[in-house]
Amino acid sequence: MINWTEVIRRSNEGNPAPSRTVEKSDAEWRAQLSPEQYQVTRQAATERPFSSEMCSKFEPGSYACACCGELLFDGQHKFESGTGWPSFSLPAADNAIAYIMDSSHGMRRVETVCNTCKAHLGHIFPDGPAPTGLRYCMNALALAKVHD
């Protein structure tokens, strides 16, 4: 199971290979995504906190990348973090998420991207619940709810 030490190692040394890759031109991404989704996923923007109903919904199901449809999270690992963004404690697969050290905005943190299409998802922090202790703080615009 992934933990903070492994997240830091991957962000510095490299991530596992994805199961598949999806590459599209900028024009193709713009045509597929809403302007807001494009800003978040392709330009690493952050949506306003508490701007999505996804934060407070905890029904069964899975969450996929809004860009490529790759399964990213199972709803059973979603929790209320109080941050204003959907939060998860564990990805759906070990190679679903890639980790990148982010030193922007005068902070040092770890960015999370879809390992399949490199869409910006959000950031990860070491203050989540057991057993991982991780909080995947995701932009709702980067996720698509999949009803199982």
How far is residue 64's CA from residue 69's CA, in Å, rounded to a whole number? 5
- Catalytic-residue membership of 114: no
Cβ 96 vs Cβ 68: under 8 Å: no
Q: How far is the C-alpha of 13 from the C-alpha of 27, rounded, in Å?
A: 31
Residue type, 111: E
Q: What are phi and psi of 43, to 5 degrees?
A: -120, 10
Q: Residue 8 pairs with which residues in a beta bridge? A: none
Spatial distance between the Cα atoms of 73 and 66, rounded to a whole number of angstroms: 12
Q: Please answer whether residues 62 and 71 qualify as being in contact, where contact means their C-beta atoms are separated by less than 8 angstroms.
A: yes
Query: Cis (ω within 30 of 0) for the bond into 131?
Result: yes
Point out the residues that are catalytic: 137
